[in-house]
């Protein structure tokens, strides 16, 4: 049997256990070789639970001593992403970095440049792109089903307590000197990435607000309310809004085009619909001409009578229920391995991750200037209360 592809996981906390360990276990040809965590207990327990031969408490030691590693997944607190990713790249290891790629724009581009210099693949863990309905939304937009997208919106609202009290293994998120932000960089990281990808555009300029509005400073200094307005290079505009105080979790994305609208909602309940995706198109389709995704997955299927009466089809919201398996993280892991085998650029590239950090830092900058901020930024922007670690040489 050919050699398996060896993964090391850094940070054996909540997302490693929810997403990365199970995905590696389910992906054919992938093998978990090593677990690394500053907590000896977390590292050894994870190795035991998920069948890794080795465990470490220091990433450099893992990089130097561990045989059989091809890639690492970095699922540690945000402030250590830069040094851990660059260290891996220098040793020729391919890298997946959890979102946010980093905290400052300089940190983010340092990671991208190191991976480029050492010719290793870099992917950012923005799993929203791997949800089937978001991939279908992307395809329908590219196929022109909703015309030219002129406006869009993405959101993720979720109370601190939901994740912090029930899922997270540590409280790094509450410490702004380590996490560097919350509504904008934790939940916002997903919304910004999804929106820019679905639009297929780079952000030209940004204006926004990221502030602590709900929780006392004794709980956290991080922002818990964020708005960002983005203008893309093609002139279309978008809004991202996120918070960390809504007890009801809601997450949704809308794209308004000249010929229709698409709504998707990912991993949270949302009050607007009961399906993960809905499409309205103003185009004249007969049943047999419908884009394949709409034909196969719209609900209810009305081919029996309505589709025969209405030619072209009646214009209405079309609810779509995509298959749920394999899940987003399994698809992401399989995709990354495929990129390595075929020498292709991962779907969420390092450049994408760094541009998302530019947007977040642009919001903090616009809080200072009170106006639009052009991207890319001309200097490093360090979010309030964040204390960057020195770059390891």
Q: Which of 73, 80, 332, 357 binds ligand NAD (CB under 6 A)?
A: 80
54 is a site residue for ligand NAD (CB under 6 A): no
For the four alpha carbons of 18, 242, 251 and 163, in that order, the dihedral sign comes to: positive
Q: Which CA distances in Å does 334 have to 5, 54, 136, 197, 261?
A: 11, 23, 18, 20, 31
12 is a site residue for ligand NAD (CB under 6 A): yes
Within 13 Å, how many C-alpha atoms sit on residue 103's CB side?
24
Q: The sheet that has 250-257: what strands, in order across it?
A: 318-320, 277-281, 260-264, 250-257, 149-157, 237-243, 225-232, 203-211, 373-374
191 is a site residue for ligand NAD (CB under 6 A): no
CA nearest neighbour of 233 among 271, 267, 193, 203: 203
Site for ligand NAD in 98-117 (CB under 6 A): 98-99
13 is a site residue for ligand NAD (CB under 6 A): yes
Stretch that binds ligand NAD, among 30-38, 113-121, 234-242, 376-384 (CB under 6 A): 30-38
Q: What is the total count of residues that contact ligand NAD (CB under 6 A)?
A: 27
* Overall size of the chain counted in residues: 393
125 is a site residue for ligand NAD (CB under 6 A): yes
169 is a site residue for ligand NAD (CB under 6 A): yes
362 is a site residue for ligand NAD (CB under 6 A): no
* Cβ proximity to ligand NAD, 194 vs 381, nearer residue: 194
37 is a site residue for ligand NAD (CB under 6 A): yes
Q: Are strands 122-124 and 94-97 parallel, antiparallel or unpaired?
A: parallel
Q: Which CA distances in Å does 35 have to 12, 45, 48, 344?
A: 7, 9, 9, 26
Q: Which of 107, 127, 175, 193 binds ligand NAD (CB under 6 A)?
A: 127
Q: Which of 26, 31, 39, 60 binds ligand NAD (CB under 6 A)?
A: 39
Q: Which residues lie across from 256 on neighbouring strands?
A: 151, 261
Q: How far is the CB of 178 from ligand NAD (least distance, A)?
A: 9
* Cβ proximity to ligand NAD, 127 vs 231, nearer residue: 127
CA nearest neighbour of 115 among 145, 95, 100, 140: 95
Query: Which residues contact ligand NAD (rule: CB under 6 A)?
Result: 10-16, 36-39, 42, 59, 75-78, 80, 98-99, 125, 127, 168-170, 172, 186
């Amino acid at each position: 049997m050919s050699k398996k592809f060896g993964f090391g996981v850094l940070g054996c906390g909540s997302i490693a256990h929810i997403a990365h360990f199970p995905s590696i276990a389910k992906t054919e040809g992938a093998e978990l070789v090593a677990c690394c965590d500053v907590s000896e207990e977390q590292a050894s327990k994870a190795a035991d639970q998920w069948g890794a031969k080795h465990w470490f408490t220091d990433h450099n030691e893992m990089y130097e001593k561990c045989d059989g590693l091809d890639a690492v997944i970095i699922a540690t607190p945000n402030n250590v992403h830069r040094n851990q990713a660059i260290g891996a790249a220098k040793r020729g290891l391919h890298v997946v970095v959890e979102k946010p790629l980093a905290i400052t724009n300089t940190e983010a581009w340092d990671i991208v440049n190191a991976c480029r210099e050492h010719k290793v693949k870099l992917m950012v863990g923005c799993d929203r792109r791997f949800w089937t309905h978001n991939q279908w939304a992307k395809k329908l937009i590219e196929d022109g089903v909703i015309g030219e997208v002129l406006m869009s919106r993405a959101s993720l609202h979720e109370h601190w307590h939901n994740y912090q009290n029930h899922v997270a293994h540590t409280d790094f998120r509450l410490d702004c000197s380590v996490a560097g932000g919350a509504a904008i960089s934790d939940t916002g990281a997903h919304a910004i990435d999804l929106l820019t990808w679905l639009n297929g555009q780079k952000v030209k300029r940004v204006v926004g607000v990221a502030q602590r509005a709900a929780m006392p400073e004794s709980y956290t200094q991080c922002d818990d309310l964020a708005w960002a307005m983005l203008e893309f290079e093609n002139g279309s505009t978008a809004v991202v809004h996120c918070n960390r105080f809504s007890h009801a979790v809601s997450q949704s994305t809308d794209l308004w085009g000249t010929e229709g609208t698409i709504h998707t909602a990912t991993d949270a309940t949302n009050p607007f619909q009961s399906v993960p995706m809905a499409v309205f198109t103003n185009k004249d389709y007969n049943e047999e001409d419908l884009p394949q995704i709409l034909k196969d997955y719209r609900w209810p299927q009305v081919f029996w009578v309505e589709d025969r009466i209405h030619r072209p089809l009646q214009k209405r919201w079309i609810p779509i229920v995509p298959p749920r398996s394999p899940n987003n993280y399994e698809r992401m892991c399989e995709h990354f391995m495929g990129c390595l085998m075929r020498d292709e650029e991962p779907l969420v590239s390092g450049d994408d991750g760094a541009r998302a950090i530019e947007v977040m830092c642009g919001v903090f900058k616009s809080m200072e200037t009170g106006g639009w901020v052009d991207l890319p930024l001309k200097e490093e922007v360090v979010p309030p209360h964040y204390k960057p670690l020195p770059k390891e040489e």
